[in-house]
Amino acid sequence: DTAVSQTPKYLVTQMGNDKSIKCEQNLGHDTMYWYKQDSKKFLKIMFSYNNKELIINETVPNRFSPKSPDKAHLNLHINSLELGDSAVYFCASSQEFMGVNAEAFFGQGTRLTVV
Amino acid sequence: KQEVTQIPAALSVPEGENLVLNCSFTDSAIYNLQWFRQDPGKGLTSLLLIQSSQREQTSGRLNASLDKSSGRSTLYIAASQPGDSATYLCAAKGAQKLVFGQGTRLTINP
């Protein structure tokens, strides 16, 4: 029973296209994230949502637009894809409460290749 | 701004050895520190979570320690096995986000 699931796992697309990656968590967590792992394997946060509200936007180009229809879902839409967007994108979730921040769980990643 | 560093970047040891992976962070105002494992082409698997008020956590052959005052955490792996080969990542939790180190790529040789 997958805790954090992302689709698709692989995405190959041409420059200029628009694409979406979906993420769902069944852990009942109130906070969800998108992270990007570049070619050097460095993981960096892109967005953080708490109860459907955007909390963090780490200077990500506005071609990237996250959407959270409910607190179990956080989708990532990317417009006008560029070669430099090629990376692995990870969705994650955690429960933030009473100042005690719990364990973060990650999805399996979406490998995006822009050609 | 939090920065997390992991040393060494890569480590290769014979099977059966005990080993220590190091993680340092610049801002001691963290909520917790989490260790992950990443296999090639795969996602992140959480190994251990240490809350800021704790000094260590253990799970099987793994033991993680946290010293907030010095900005350091270590992951100790006992009696290493070839199946332990992977990249190990530490991440410091600040307000609403995890900041990751660049990982230690561990190879256990049979």
| A113: contact with B, CB 8 A cutoff | no
pLDDT-based confidence at residue A80 (cuts at 50, 70, 90):
very high
Average pLDDT over every residue of B19-42: 94
| B97: contact with A, CB 8 A cutoff | yes
B57 pLDDT exceeds 80?
yes
pLDDT-based confidence at residue A97 (cuts at 50, 70, 90):
low
Q: Which residue of B has its CA nearest to A54?
A: B96
Q: Are B75 and B87 in contact (CB under 8 A)?
A: no
Q: How far apart are CA A29 and CA A104, in angstroms?
A: 10
pLDDT-based confidence at residue A99 (cuts at 50, 70, 90):
low
Predicted confidence at residue A96, as pLDDT, reads 78
Q: How far apart are CA A40 and CA A13, in angstroms?
A: 21
Q: Which residues of A37-66 are buried (b: 16+ CB within 10 A; e: fewer)?
A: beeeeebebbbbbbeeeebbeeebeeebeb
Cross-chain CB nearest to A100 (options B51, B96, B98): B51
